[in-house]
Structure 1
Amino acid sequence: MPTPEAADSSRVLVSRIGDDIRRSKGWISFAHFMDRALYAPGLGYYSGGAHKLGAAGDFVTAPELGPIFAQTLAAQVAEICALSDPHIIEVGAGSGRLAADLLRELAARQALPESYRILEVSGELRARQQAALREVAGQLPTRINWLDRFPEHFSGVVLANEVLDAMPVHLVVWQDDDILERGVGLADGQFVWQDRPASGRLRERAQTIAAECSPPPGYLGEIALLSDDWLYEWGQRLTRGALLLLDYGFPRHEYYHAQRSAGTLMCHYRHRAHGDPFYLPGLQDITAHVDFTAIAEAACAAGFELLGYTTQAGFLLACGLLEILARTPAEDAPRYLPLANAAQKLISPAEMGELFKVMALGKGIGHALLGFQRGERSHTL
């Protein structure tokens, strides 16, 4: 159960979302609900004070498994920096573990960036990142700071690990005779699902999906229009370099497969996954898998070139994961076994290896990237 303070915070957020619904004539989109639940100032899951990552939080990400993820990723980051400019922006840096381990590895490779900036909306996570990077910042001659908004112009690497899955999504139901948007209303003071005809950009995207994937009547799925806008903003700002996106998801034909008829929406609370986004708003994570075909389409429309798309396993192996693991002698079991266990989770098809994908979107690179020279899958999009 949440602490009394956390429960009070959630009740305040529930009241404010209820006010939004009443002001909107009894209905808001699920994207609106998800945005408030995750990002309402001071109350949302990512903008409030809830402890999110690691054993004491709600879920574990790849950087939390150990340094081997960042050490392997460093090879690709260093290559992109060498092909553009030695600057890095990490979007949504979590606990700061990825940034700290990445900078240590780049220092060992003599490839430190001239700047490392973090774009972070969570005050709690920003404080954790600053603590995690304090030692690194004191030891490494590199500039680390935090951003509140997109930079005006940028050249280098934009790194986004598990960012796209936390962007608010619209829910759509495809019927025989219409396309409906599933939103949120109120009944007896409780949040309830309510459907209405989809319109505008959402309807257009849903019609495209229907033409390509033929979802059966009653099929429920997510559409992430916000990721289009996010990519457009980076398209306006990135002059040279690449966006490196790591997240769980599928190409469109797999995302909207007939057997996935209830969508991919998932909530995480204290290392338990469930499907009720109305449970303790502000205290649990809400995510949806990524339609990587939609990401590629929006990126190309924003002026990017698709530089590569593959599984996390293929990407990490191409970047030298096994060679990095071999740095530690197998005979040194206390050090080797945790690294080997982390590597197994990162690349195993039964763990993160297949479900997680990596996509690189570039400008002015014109070069085949290291991480996509093994099992490149752009043709599946």
Structure 2
Amino acid sequence: MLSNFNQATRFDAFMHFALYHPQHGYYSRGDRIFGRDGDFITAPELSPLFGQTIGKAIRGVLPRCNGVVYEFGAGTGQLACDVLSSAGDLVTQYNIVDLSGGLKTVQLARLTAQHGPEVLKKIQWLSKLPERIQGVVLGNEILDATPVRRFKWHSNGPLEAWVQYIDDRLQFVWKPADPLFATEIQKMNALYGPWPEGFESEIAEQSTAWVRTITERLNGVALLIDYGFHAAMYYHPTRSQGTLRATSRHTAHDDFLVKVGEQDLTAHVNFSAVYEALSSCAGELEGYCHQGEFLLGHGILDLAAQQAEFTHPTLGVLLRQNLNTLLNEADMGEAFKVICWSKSVNADDTALNSVFLKHDRSGDL
């Protein structure tokens, strides 16, 4: 496998191989990567209240989108299960867009176990991006798993990270950035620097290209949840090692070139770049806020109070701990952000819009 890198390979191509190769890629491992026994746990796996609250939040816009949902990166299918629990009466079709399809069996089993075989009348799996996306787009932790270009700042010219198999191991090889990429790096330094010599970070070209494509094809509302910052924080001079990280067994580290295909590789999302991308395609920003603000605004505590398990003397402790992780500023509540935009569909006078008006942080973008 490592012989694929006998020649220098740009880091974003290496990252794509490590994550998405159909045989050797990390995501080809299926559901073994999720949950407490895997490498990381996502918000839907942490608590069903997460997806139930998202379902509640989109109830007002679903009729304006003909009840159609497109979920990207559905993982084990838990988010779909929980959205359908709180909004299924308004959902006419739930599309799971999974370009690899490796988790379809897991998703199918979970959906039918929770909602019965009748739910399959509403579920459809798509193996390619639709030409027209008419509905509500959902994505939880999608953009952070998009390959990034890694750079290093030097005043005499920025460098870009390549990967090559040398002396029986993968190593970084730093090459002068090509003119277009160098111009983009210099622009970022001018806006958010000056950076110290050797400053390293990332630019997620594939992430912003994905947002543009979704927005170009969108007739509806898009709602994405992920961890990240606005650009001024992302490229702050003190964040001199960037945001790229590897994760294995719930432990994050910076040894990106080991255990290829056996560890996750992610980078934080630059939400300012997401905003620029959607705006360039006539998308209208509905709002941007912290995950905790969004969930509280849409009544996650009311949903929790309706569940008898929360008062159980032992089980309730864990459930409350998980809820606190979703909401607490020191955990996922502030690290994760929610960004929402629309195109050709009016989201005014809905609960989704009213919560964003109350908690909107789009001024940061």
TM-score class normalised by the smaller sequence: over 0.9
Q: Distance in 2 between matches of 1:152 and 1:122?
A: 18
The answer to whether structure 1 residue 379 and structure 2 residue 340 are counterparts is no
| Alignment match, 2:222 | 243
Per-residue Cα deviation, 1:54-111 (whole angstroms, up to 9, x for no partner): 122100000011211011111222222133321011100111111111112213xx32
The answer to whether structure 1 residue 326 and structure 2 residue 305 are counterparts is yes
Contact 2:55 2:82 in 1 (8 A): no
The answer to whether structure 1 residue 119 and structure 2 residue 120 are counterparts is no
The answer to whether structure 1 residue 279 and structure 2 residue 258 are counterparts is yes
| Alignment match, 2:85 | 104
The answer to whether structure 1 residue 262 and structure 2 residue 234 are counterparts is no
**The one of 262, 285, 308 aligned to 1:306:** 285
Question: 1:126 deviation in Å?
Answer: 2.2
Per-residue Cα deviation, 1:126-149 (whole angstroms, up to 9, x for no partner): 221111112325144741021111
The answer to whether structure 1 residue 76 and structure 2 residue 57 are counterparts is yes
The answer to whether structure 1 residue 52 and structure 2 residue 30 are counterparts is no
Q: Distance in 2 between matches of 1:121 and 1:140?
A: 22
Deviates more, 1:292-301 or 1:74-83: 74-83
The answer to whether structure 1 residue 356 and structure 2 residue 336 are counterparts is yes
The 3-state SS of whatever aligns with 2:18 is helix
| Alignment match, 1:5 | none
Q: How does 1:24-63 map to 2 (within 5 A)?
A: 27-49=8-30, 51-63=32-44
Question: 1:122 deviation in Å?
Answer: 4.2
> How has the CA–CA distance of structure 1 residues 47 and 303 changed in structure 2, closer, same or farther, with 3 Å as cutoff?
farther
The answer to whether structure 1 residue 66 and structure 2 residue 44 are counterparts is no
Deviates more, 1:370-379 or 1:172-181: 370-379
Question: 1:229 deviation in Å?
Answer: 1.5
Amino acid at match of 1:236: E
Question: 1:205 deviation in Å?
Answer: 2.3
Contact 2:31 2:76 in 1 (8 A): no
**The one of 173, 179, 186 aligned to 1:207:** 186
Q: Distance in 1 between matches of 2:221 and 2:68?
A: 11
**The one of 151, 154, 158 aligned to 2:130:** 151
| Alignment match, 2:145 | 166
The 3-state SS of whatever aligns with 1:134 is helix
The 3-state SS of whatever aligns with 2:62 is helix
* Structure 1 vs Structure 2 CA RMSD: 1.8
Q: Distance in 2 between matches of 1:124 and 1:231?
A: 23
Contact 2:228 2:336 in 1 (8 A): yes
Deviates more, 1:367-376 or 1:94-103: 367-376
Per-residue Cα deviation, 1:12-32 (whole angstroms, up to 9, x for no partner): 3x23x32xx42xxxx211101
Per-residue Cα deviation, 1:131-173 (whole angstroms, up to 9, x for no partner): 1112325144741021111112121111110010000000011
| Alignment match, 1:224 | 204
Question: 1:203 deviation in Å?
Answer: 2.5
Q: Distance in 2 between matches of 1:246 and 1:50?
A: 20
Contact 1:91 1:158 in 2 (8 A): yes
| Alignment match, 2:107 | 129
Per-residue Cα deviation, 1:228-252 (whole angstroms, up to 9, x for no partner): 21122212321x2111110000000
Q: Distance in 1 between matches of 2:292 and 2:30?
A: 33
> How has the CA–CA distance of structure 1 residues 281 and 375 changed in structure 2, closer, same or farther, with 3 Å as cutoff?
same
The answer to whether structure 1 residue 288 and structure 2 residue 267 are counterparts is yes
Contact 2:148 2:203 in 1 (8 A): yes
Query: What are structure 2's unaligned runs of at least 5 residues?
Result: none
| Alignment match, 1:87 | 68
- The count of residues paired between Structure 1 and Structure 2 equals 358
**The one of 346, 358, 378 aligned to 2:326:** 346
The answer to whether structure 1 residue 185 and structure 2 residue 169 are counterparts is no
Contact 1:246 1:356 in 2 (8 A): yes
The answer to whether structure 1 residue 176 and structure 2 residue 176 are counterparts is no
Per-residue Cα deviation, 1:271-311 (whole angstroms, up to 9, x for no partner): 22111111110111100000000110111112211111000
The 3-state SS of whatever aligns with 2:359 is coil
Deviates more, 1:186-195 or 1:34-43: 186-195
Question: 1:117 deviation in Å?
Answer: 0.9
Contact 2:288 2:340 in 1 (8 A): yes
Identity of aligned residues (%): 37
**Normalized against structure 1, the TM-score is what?**
0.89
The 3-state SS of whatever aligns with 1:90 is strand
Query: What are structure 1's unaligned runs of at least 5 residues?
Result: 1-11
